[in-house]
Amino acid sequence: MERELEIRRRLREAGQEQLLRFWDELGSGERDSLLGELELLDARELREHCGRAQEAYERESGAPQRLDHRMRPVPPEFLGSVRRSRPEELRAWEEEGYRQISQNKVAVLLLAGGQGTRLGVTYPKGMYSVGLPSGKTLYQIQAERILRLQQLAGEKYSTRCTVPWYIMTSEFTLSPTLKFFEDHNFFGIDRPDVVLFEQRMLPAVGFDGLAILERKDKVAMAPDGNGGLYRALADNHILEDMEARGISYIHVYCVDNILVKMADPVFVGFCVTKGADCGAKVVEKSYPLEPVGVVCQVDGIYQVVEYSEISQDTAEKRDADGSLTYNAGNICNHFFTLDFLKNVAGTSEQQLGYHVAIKKVPYVDEEGNLAKPVRANGIKMEKFVFDVFQFAKNFVAFEVVREEEFSPLKNADTADKDTPTTARRALLWQHYRWALKAGAKFTNASGRAIAEKSGVPEAEDPSAVCEISPLISYFGEGLDLHLNNKVLSSPFILDAQRV
């Protein structure tokens, strides 16, 4: 009884007493579950969160703030590029990256707290298979890239090295992710080198400023965005774990990019060589009005400017060489030093603002019936991982080739982009290019030669299907040995069993 009275007192203080409006209809187990959830919500924080959500929604409903006249592109001296940097520079950065990896100073950190709602599945997105010939999931592909990278760095420097894999999950994804890894023996990675931790959850808020009930005995909760990383690092003592392992540099990325280069030695080496404490990989925008955020300076401070915050004229502005002035498309792929993350998690994180996401949130109506809204009815408050660029003392950006390093999986195949089909095609086109470069020739099931072709990876499949295991090649290296002058029947899978 005292527990219930304390919770009621807190909710009155927060102005959220409606969360107990079905109390009399709940069984004892349901009551315990709801009280346990509400106990985690501080009254002051809940009141401020709901008020902040309502105010932010009202602001978002107005015209977006334009940043055109306050923006500047990333200066050339702080921008590296796979296309434009000299080959000797790229080799030197790669060598430096491998050196740091060989000394066990590099970790990867995966942002995997989302539910994959747009993809149309009820399990974590990393468990998804896009339909590759091998049937591999995103998690397996990424795990195998880590294993291959460790092997390459170890061979270069005659040592055994480890790239720890930190995975930030949420209330929705922690248990199924852990079970998936256990069922697959962590894909060959040593168990202590896979560290799962959970980000915080925040109540979803209605347009009236009241927290939403998802069920009579459950508050509608949502992860606090990928920018919740910094609180989660502190909450779960992850930075202490990194420090104990001797980690100095962390590569942070999102789970849904099927082409991601785990702890990319070129990117890591570039950032280390430049003395950066914070860095971002970017891709050239496909067209001026592509709806992606742009990495740039605003009033001299680095941030990601959303496409809605600039005019069409600014989006289409070009330099003397004809390239877009604001061309550095953000792909949520970042480099941080451990010291930078310690500073952010310790003090700077509190200065980060929230972003508004207007969503369709299932709820319980006044009669107690479960309802699935047909239009947006709730506010979810998020922080973004890139909001910390402003705290960097030395920020750099590194431009990579989209078709080699960025193909996100966000939507079901009913959408026109970022689908399982486009992700599968992106990977198979990449492997097809690698095989041709290594000297392979392809035949069809009838033994007839398949003509080489180039095409638009998102629009069509390559002329021959070739999948190369990350355990064989991290990024196209070493394939001459296996494929040069070989005639391969499509579809072809190059894996450990064929070597």
What confidence category does residue 66 fall into, taking pLDDT thresholds of 50, 70 and 90? confident
Tell me the CA distances in angstroms from 461 to 170, 379, 491, one per residue in order: 35, 39, 12
d(CA 303, CA 225): 17
Distance of CA 240 to the CA centre of its chain: 23
Q: How far apart are CA 33 and CA 46, in angstroms?
A: 18
Q: Indicate the average pLDDT of the chain.
A: 94
* Confidence (pTM): 0.93
pLDDT in the model for residue 61 = 66
* Residue 499 reports pLDDT greater than 70: no
Residue found by looking up tokens 């309502």 in the block: 54
Instruction: Please answer whether residues 285 and 324 qualify as being in contact, where contact means their C-beta atoms are separated by less than 8 angstroms.
Output: yes
To which residue do tokens 């509400």 refer? 38
Q: Which residue has the tokens 């029947």?
A: 489
Q: How far apart are CA 355 and CA 221, in angstroms?
A: 16
Ordered alpha helix ranges (H), 40-137: 43-60, 87-102
462's CB contacts (< 8 A; 6+ apart) are 425, 428, 429, 432, 453, 455
pLDDT score of 452:
83
pLDDT above 70 (res 54): yes
Tokens (6 digits) for 53: 């959500």
Whole-angstrom distance, CA of residue 288 vs CA of residue 285 = 7
Buried b (16+ CB within 10 A) or exposed e, 325-349: bbbbbbbbbbbbbbebbbbbbeeeb
Taking every pair of Cα atoms in the chain, the longest distance, rounded to a whole number of angstroms, is 79
Tell me the C-alpha to C-alpha distance, in Å, between residue 29 and each of 4, 53, 186, 218, 220. 14, 31, 35, 12, 18
CA distances from 257 to 231, 262, 284, 309, 425 (A): 24, 11, 16, 25, 13
Q: Give 125's contacts (C-beta < 8 A, 6+ positions apart).
A: 112, 114, 116, 119, 138, 255, 256, 409
The pLDDT of residue 63 is 63
pLDDT digits (tens, 9 = 90+) for 93-135: 999 999 999 999 999 999 998 877 789 898 999 999 999 999 9
Domains of the chain: 2-60 (no CATH), 68-405 (3.90.550.10), 427-498 (2.10.10.100)
| DSSP code of residue 25 | G
Q: CA triplet 11, 16, 21: central angle to 5 degrees?
A: 95
In angstroms and rounded to an integer, the radius of gyration of the C-alpha atoms of the chain is 24
pLDDT above 80 for 17: yes
Q: Are 430 and 475 in contact (CB under 8 A)?
A: no
Residue 331: pLDDT over 80: yes
Q: Which two three-digit tokens encode residue 443?
A: 């035949």
Over residues 158-207, the pLDDT tens digits come to 999 999 999 999 988 999 999 999 999 999 999 999 999 999 999 999 99
Q: How far apart are CA 462 and CA 459, in angstroms?
A: 10
Residue 179 to residues 113, 164, 196, Cα–Cα distance (Å): 15, 19, 11
- Which of 432, 426, 419, 499 has its CA nearest to residue 467? 432
**At residue 406, does pLDDT exceed 80?**
yes
User: CA nearest 302: which of 227, 383, 389, 387?
Assistant: 389
Q: What is the rounded distance in angstroms from the CA atom of residue 263 to the CA atom of residue 143?
A: 12
- pLDDT classification of 2: cutoffs 50, 70, 90: confident
The residue type found at 114 is G
Tell me how many degrees the CA angle 116-473-486 measures, rounded to the nearest 5: 120
Exposed, middle or buried by CB within 10 Å (0-12, 13-18, 19+), for 387? buried
The conformational region for residue 85 under phi > 0 = left, psi -120 to 50 = alpha, else beta, is beta
pLDDT in tens, 193-225: 999 999 999 999 999 999 999 999 999 998 899
Average the pLDDT over 257-276 and give the result. 98
The pLDDT, as a whole number, for residue 445 is 84
Distance of alpha carbon 256 from alpha carbon 431, whole angstroms? 19
